[in-house]
Homo-oligomer: A and B are copies of this chain.
């Protein structure tokens, strides 16, 4: 796997290390959420992205801070990869006043304006035109920015995807439709929902650029996204990126659900062996970019950060009930 052209070796090592750190951080944070969920203090639905860290991290690595993303119900990874505030995210999931929504949204409504995370919207597909509208605002105001709209394979079935893609292609807007194909919509496989053909064919309806990529290979994801971002900045319009990956835990909630019968243990294990985090760690070690010691320090450092963030969230007060009527109208 060759690296992004404009990066030389030492930079590349640092870059790879950052990618690894970002993926490991998301993994550890979501595993901590899963571990603590049964305490029933996080009283809102959570859709974990464990197993899908490379798509979020690789894609966001191709963006600048002032670029934007928009996401859906499964947004933790995207939020963190784009630089969303961890404490505000956890406080939100805990329903506390320091949450990014002040506790009003929960896990399914994460956003962070400073980091360029417009919103997370739990109605499947509903966020896609908002991402296109964000891109329209850049063109209109002549800002050199790009927006990535992360969608799942299921979201590509919603009519609004078609309407959003047609408009983005027509106006050559700087938006990237990043499709994380984790093969399932809830407990229904792709082949039960769409005819058999590459998902990249969805782009052909609109003469839109598209690219298929291994969603568990963070470098491949980064490079594909970088090409799409360059096209967008150059005024060549939108790209559909299809990244194959896999959700490890249940659709909604902290547990594993390979026992309920919608997917096979063999399938699950084959994907687990292609874990985006550990496979990348192994590669970095082969390259000599990552030492066991460095990895241990990293884990210790991240674990401390995460523990502190959870402590912060749980210490944060609940929002004052008397504020519940605020902000209905601007």
Q: Which residues of A contact B (CB under 8 A)?
A: 157-163, 166, 169-170, 193-197, 201-202, 204-208
Contacts and interface: CB of A to CB of B under 8 A. Distances in A.
A50 to B, nearest CB: 29
6 contacts: A158-B163, A159-B162, A161-B162, A170-B193, A196-B207, A201-B205
Contacts of A208: 195
A198 to B, nearest CB: 9
Which residue, of A159, A169, A197, has the highest number of chain B Cβ atoms within 10 A? A159
Given A159-B160, A166-B157, A202 B205 contact: yes
Contacts of A162: 159, 161-162, 205
B204 A204 contact: yes
What is the total number of copies of this protein in its complex? 2
Nearest 10 pairs of A and B residues by beta carbon: A159-B159, A162-B162, A197-B207, A204-B204, A169-B195, A195-B207, A159-B163, A205-B205, A202-B205, A201-B204
A292 to B, nearest CB: 47
Nearest to A170: B195
A197 B197 CA distance: 20
A206 B156 CA distance: 12
Contacts of A159: 158-163
Contacts of A193: 170
Which residue, of A170, A193, A195, A207, has the highest number of chain B Cβ atoms within 10 A? A195
A201 to B, nearest CB: 5
A236 to B, nearest CB: 12
A202 B159 CA distance: 13
Contact of A195 (B194, B195, B196, B206): B206
A236 B157 CA distance: 21
A153 to B, nearest CB: 12
Nearest to A157: B166
A170 B206 CA distance: 21
Nearest to A192: B170
A162 B163 CA distance: 9
A201 B207 contact: yes
A204 B197 CA distance: 9
Contacts of A205: 162, 201-202, 204-205
Which residue, of A161, A166, A169, A207, has the highest number of chain B Cβ atoms within 10 A? A166
A83 to B, nearest CB: 32
Which residue, of A162, A163, A170, has the highest number of chain B Cβ atoms within 10 A? A162
A163 B193 CA distance: 11
A190 to B, nearest CB: 10
A151 B149 CA distance: 30
Nearest to A172: B195
Contacts of A194: 166, 170, 206
Given A159-B163, A204-B205, 8 more contacts: A158-B163, A159-B159, A161-B162, A170-B193, A170-B195, A195-B207, A197-B204, A202-B205
